[in-house]
Amino acid sequence: MTDDALIAWLESGAQPKLTAEEAAARRAADFARRFGEALAAEDLGPTQELHDAAVARLVFDVHADLNALGEEAYSDVWALLGAPSRAAIKRCVSMAKTAGEPQ
């Protein structure tokens, strides 16, 4: 690509095509961010128990979306998260599954 063609392309605002690896990395970062936002949600219930249940549902929703993409995608996200976040996600997923079971 000539310098003029490159400048014209950059000025056009066109986005470069992502490689499969770049797309996977962005997806993993997005899911890690979504988990973080779900875990940090505020004021979701009048009591701590209701708040915790709502957070668990939010985290479980992210978990379900990510789980649908497969084990490799989940592993990529898991690698981006710190141990405290992973532990909190496990607790929330377990809580949401338990809450969803018929009594």
Of 10, 30, 14, the C-alpha closest to 22 is 30
pLDDT per residue as tens digits for the range 76-89 = 999 999 999 999 99
pLDDT per residue as tens digits for the range 41-79 = 999 999 999 999 999 999 999 999 999 999 999 999 999
pLDDT per residue as tens digits for the range 29-40 = 999 999 999 999
Alpha-carbon Rg for the chain in angstroms: 19
Assign 3-class secondary structure to 63-77. Answer: HHHHHCCCHHHHHHH
Considering the entire predicted model, what is its pTM? 0.82
pLDDT per residue as tens digits for the range 1-24 = 688 888 887 888 888 888 999 999
Angle at 32 (CA atoms; ends 27, 34), nearest 5 degrees: 95
